[in-house]
Structure 1
Amino acid sequence: MANPTERDIEAHFREELFQRSEGKKSVLLPKEQYNEIISEVTATDKSGEKTPHEYYLLKKYEIFKCGDVLKLIRRRTANEDPIYFATLEYTFDIIKHAHIATGHGGRDKMVKELSKKYDNITHDAISIYKSLCIECQCKQVAYQLLDIFLLLGAPEILQSVNGSEFTACVITELKLLWPDLVMVHGKPRYPQSQGSVERANCDIKDILVAWLSDNNTTDWTVGLKFVQFQKNSSYHSGIRRSPFAALFGSDAKVGLTTSALPHDVIHRLQSEDELLAVITEETTSDELPAVEPVTAKPPAVEPVTVEPPAVEPVTAEPPAVEQVTALGVLCTTVIRVTAEPPAVKPTSPLSVRQKNNTSQRKRACEAQLSQAERMVERIRRIMDRGKVGNNVTIPIPMVDRGRGDPRNIMGIIMDIDENDNYTIAVKSGILSGKYTRNQFDLCMEEKLIIEEEEPCVMHLTHLQ
């Protein structure tokens, strides 16, 4: 998705502001109404008798003349600076200048700055502008990413479908918050080649909209944390477990909610003493001895066992140690050593968790490889396999093309490896990287051919 231009942002701002003010009594004045009020106030000053509406206009408004231009200002007292009324059409420019003057400050800073000069700039208009400001969005995204990076570590490459400019802006904000962080932005990806990523993005949007509706709020930055937890703790069919379990080796915990205690008991608990009392009762009820029925026992019969002859353990005889006594007699001492079995160390909970964590990650990796193999097999069944020399069309990502540029570029298959990754060349040379079958389309007609003039020199010729 290409970054919106300043003109697109302004059009979106005005459209949303007009929709919110339409059909409602608003302090925002369209240009026609603004000029009409100026005419009424000017005519009222010259008239003798005045109606209640005219008294209302004179009490609220005043005409301020700036050269040949008439401005509508708030009725002022002696030695008071003029406070202007802004038209709906110029609200975007006014808020933009105030937003830049405050260093992309928050709503309160902007309200304080605008109230010095304007009377009718609403909080709603300020909020709309802040939601459309690219730099403010970068700050919010960087702040949310910082929480994740400080917990799990930061990657080397930051990838985004919003284009390299937006990604670079986010990296700049991250550098301001974390000067030691060094990252680069990735090259743009074609969205159709990332079906699983696009589906995940749709799921996240749906979960976020549901969370905002359930909690009756519009603060998406807070809801994003809960959406992240819900997405990571949900079962994933590809790795056959939740991402949380694949990373940490156990399912995510939500306090006592995920314990084995009944929900009605959990809601009544308030302190640690009450929790220990409930656990003690549960343990006591589990350890009560079972009452066995009384039955007549037959006389005990002692079993006859035959004891096998004792077998002495065979131990390796160490070499004899010869010693000379004080009387000059040579004595030989034989030291017999018997081997004892090594003591079995008790297994610690930490080692059990580490072993479980390693097992979960290994199984998740195996399941992911299995899913990738199934996807490749499915693509092979659905799509025809390309051959060396076939002409293909490769879609150009939106972030890499202008409005007048073609949507596709024509190329030819040069090589296919054992994993069905294709090397494709165009008239200007061989494209960097390799392509999978779902990233290009086969052409029905052969427009390009390979001409070999020398053993290592090839040229592509366009057929008429």
Structure 2
Amino acid sequence: MQENETTKWAEGLRFVQLKKNRSFHRGIQRTPYEAMFGIPLVNGLKDSNLPLEIVEKLHDDDDIYRLESSVGRNIEQVVSEKSDSEFQNSDVEEELLRNNEIRLKSINQHRSHSIACLKKQATEMLQQSCSNFPKIEIGQNVLVKSPDVDRGRLAPRNILAVVLSEKDDLYQLGISTGVLEKLYARNEFQPSQTNSLTSSDVPIENKLSLRTVAAKESNSSQGFVRCNCRKQCSNKKCKCLLKNLKCNSKCHSSTSCRNK
């Protein structure tokens, strides 16, 4: 928009789409255009069937229009010179059908190979995930990261929990004050070096959210509220000011503030 001095941003979307469709995709090992149409993206006159010496002589739209009209006249002239019997015996239709079959075969080959590449990539990603996040045994202690917005400056970064059960790669965790309501995926916690907490230490009847636990374990008076104000935090629309709290470093980053 800056280079062309225009505000019509939507007109540039097709160029972004073209660039994405002609970019090599590591997953399918080809461009998206090739996976869809079975041939490389045709872009510009140099990628057309026109001879290069003709393309170099085309400078503007008028030259292209004149070329189209001249080609059309040549075709009409050739057609008028042929007799009806010659057209009946012509193999133009057969040639078109043959080209269409070749095109469909190429498309099917590209799509089949793309699907195979995606399945291979998914298998590799799954193997890497299993390597980075191995399964946790029931009864093992883990560390769950406290929500940044609910953690004060002096509060611990992680909460010690114990694995109570596992189903469909989702884990139910318990802490010393109750059971965490949410089921956690393997990448949301890390194994603990100690096993000081056991399943018998967890009061199962208490259901707690992680934010509630983090707030209780925090030793700071601030850190539980964060605002995203853009008007200097000067009215009651500011969450911090509404609760009579000062804005901290976790609030708005560069905007000026009157509540510090």
Q: Which has the higher contact order (CA 8 A, sep 6+)?
A: 2
Q: Which structure: larger Rg? A: 1
TM-score between the two structures when normalised by the length of structure 2: 0.46
- TM-score, normalised via structure 1 length: 0.29
